[in-house]
Amino acid sequence: MAEKATKYIFVTGGVLSGLGKGITAASIGKVLKARGFKVNLQKCDPYLNVDAGTLNPREHGECFVTKDGAETDLDLGHYERFLDQELTQSSSIMSGRIFTKVIEDERNGMHQGDTIQIIPHVTNAIQDAVQEAGKGYDVHIVEIGGTVGDYESLAFVEAIREFGLRVGRENCAYVHVVYLPYLSVSHETKTKPAQSAVRDLRGLGITPDILVARSERPAPESAKKKLSLFCGVDESAVALLPNAQTIYEVPLTLLQAGIDDAICKKLGITADVAQMGDWESLVSLAKKQHNTKVTVGVVAKYMDNADTYMSVFEALRHAAWHQDSDVEIKWIDAEELGKTGNTAELESVDGIVVPGGFGNRGVEGKIKAAIYALKNKKPYLGLCLGMQVMVIGAARNAGIDDANSTEFSADTKNPVIHTMEDQKGKENTGGTMRLGDYPCKITTGSKSEALYGDSDIVERHRHRYEANNAYREQYESWGIKAVGVSPDGELVEIIEGIDHPFLVASQFHPEFKSRPNRPHPMFNGFIGALVAK
């Protein structure tokens, strides 16, 4: 019997960037999965980088890490949270990776003397990557980064146009996300930018099957009819998507608009009605006015963009909802804290989170926050760098004034954090870190074991520097203890405070595995400690 053909959905964007293509793709995936389809998602980014590992988070937002160690765009975090499934390297493509493969193939003589061109060689490589990632799934959803019309994304748009010829147009659905601005002067929603965006896409050879119209406020139903008429998209395949109170509401909005039915009709697939009862309960939980409210101070160095700590913020919200609490996230400028030493902002919050980061800018402020939490018994959650600065802070608080990491002070006499032995000499290069899933053994009877309900866990990493084992015997005299280590006992993974209401810090990034319907144990414990204060 022939294997059932995978169906493909391509999500593009028009008018401007930042419309929420990633949330739209994730939401479509959620609804189709709820209908019983086996779904996968993939992000195609036009940047010439090979991966997202070296992109500036102040500009591009957080770097999300998959279980197999891929450094990716933050949209993969949305995909995982909405689908509640773990993705892999194949779910992230950047232009640099595609071009590198094409050039390497040419150098190895695989093109047998062909003149290498964008069409067909680059576009074929993109299509190969898409088709490979879609194998074994009923529906494979592909988001194309950027905005249609950008020079750097043209090869991807052309590739997905050609893909309809490769696998059959009946196996492809094209979803275009557009923007409907509201003019307060005339009190009307304008569709002309959306019409122009569809015209741009059609000019590149793709006629959208589905139109998702984003707006900052609810658009009138008449906008649907107008978009249908001028864009050539069936009215039943147009969804009006105003800003939602929570992003997790978007799948329900698409379901209510019948977009899943329109997609199934286009692709010629049938399935049961979407089972979204649990998701509806989650959205109700996210939108309700909760009985308590906690304030969390996030000691941050990347202050320009809320997306820089997307997974951290989402994990805090997940935990708060399930603790029947609202959470207010307060940014604390690590660089400013390091300069002034003023702890007023730390005093004003219920708990402190120190997230990950690289480089020495702002690190002294993070260390001061760690010392403050340790001395004043303020609930503290450290994530990756947040664990390292707690070790440094605990050492300094105990009298080792020059304790530091070799990342920040190469000649420190007390390198309580240092470079992994096999990474020495590679500190400034990309792709040399401990990335992806690694196991951890938790001490029986520790707070962390109680949080997880298990002593054997697997968590995701993204770091190069480690706790220096030469100092581990001193931890307890500093007021901390190592309660989580690698199975061979060589690498510190979790530390806890001694005689502290909640001081837990991990070398890994627990935020990457938090789900809206299943908060991560560390975040759940942290918020629980704040609620109980």
Band of pLDDT at residue 304, cut at 50, 70 and 90: confident
Determine whether 480 is exposed, middle or buried from the number of CB atoms within 10 Å of its CB (0-12, 13-18, 19+). buried
301 vs 309: CA distance, rounded Å: 10
pLDDT at 396: 97
At the fourth CATH level, the homologous superfamily of domain 7-282 is P-loop containing nucleotide triphosphate hydrolases (3.40.50.300)
User: CATH code for 290-531?
Assistant: 3.40.50.880
- Tens of pLDDT, residues 133-145: 999 999 999 999 9
Average pLDDT over every residue of 300-312: 89
pTM of the model: 0.94
The distance of Cα 190 from the centroid of its chain, to the nearest Å, equals 32
- By annotation, the residues acting in catalysis are 384, 509, 511
Band of pLDDT at residue 1, cut at 50, 70 and 90: very low
- Tens of pLDDT, residues 23-47: 999 999 999 999 999 999 999 999 9
Is the predicted pLDDT of residue 2 greater than 50, yes or no? Answer: no
pLDDT at 359: 86
Is the predicted pLDDT of residue 424 greater than 70, yes or no? Answer: no
Band of pLDDT at residue 52, cut at 50, 70 and 90: confident
- Pick from 80-84, 229-233, 416-420: least confident: 416-420
Average pLDDT over every residue of 467-491: 97
> Please, where in the chain does CATH 3.40.50.300 lie?
7-282
Is the predicted pLDDT of residue 16 greater than 90, yes or no? Answer: no
Lookup: tokens for 30: 């959620």
% of residues, the chain, pLDDT over 90: 87
pLDDT at 174: 98
pLDDT at 425: 53
pLDDT at 422: 56
| Amino acid, res. 300 | A
Is the predicted pLDDT of residue 420 greater than 70, yes or no? Answer: no
Residue linked to tokens 């080792």: 400
DSSP state of 497: E
**Considering Cα of 15, then 16, then 22, then 27, what sign does the dihedral take?**
negative
Alpha helices by DSSP H, 288-352: 310-322, 334-340, 344-348
pLDDT at 319: 98
> Please, where in the chain does CATH 3.40.50.880 lie?
290-531
pLDDT at 305: 80
- The chain-wide mean pLDDT, for the chain, equals 94
Band of pLDDT at residue 59, cut at 50, 70 and 90: confident
| Amino acid, res. 86 | E
Is the predicted pLDDT of residue 421 greater than 90, yes or no? Answer: no
Is the predicted pLDDT of residue 152 greater than 50, yes or no? Answer: yes
Is the predicted pLDDT of residue 438 greater than 60, yes or no? Answer: yes
257 vs 236: CA distance, rounded Å: 8
Average pLDDT over every residue of 478-492: 97
Is the predicted pLDDT of residue 431 greater than 80, yes or no? Answer: no
Q: How many beta carbons lie within 10 A of that of residue 228, not counting itself?
A: 16
- Tens of pLDDT, residues 72-116: 999 999 999 999 999 999 999 999 999 999 999 999 988 888 899
DSSP state of 421: G
Lookup: tokens for 36: 């019983």
- Residues of 263-297 as b/e, b for ≥16 C-beta within 10 angstroms? bbbbbebeeeebebeebeebbebbeeebeeebebb
The kind and range of the H/E element at 23 are helix 21-34
- Tens of pLDDT, residues 240-250: 999 999 999 99
pLDDT at 20: 92
Band of pLDDT at residue 478, cut at 50, 70 and 90: very high
pLDDT at 442: 98
Kindly provide the residue ranges of all beta strands, DSSP E only, lying in 279-391, ordered along the sequence.
Answer: 292-300, 325-333, 351-354, 380-383
pLDDT at 87: 97
What phi, psi does 120 have (nearest 5°)?
-105, -5
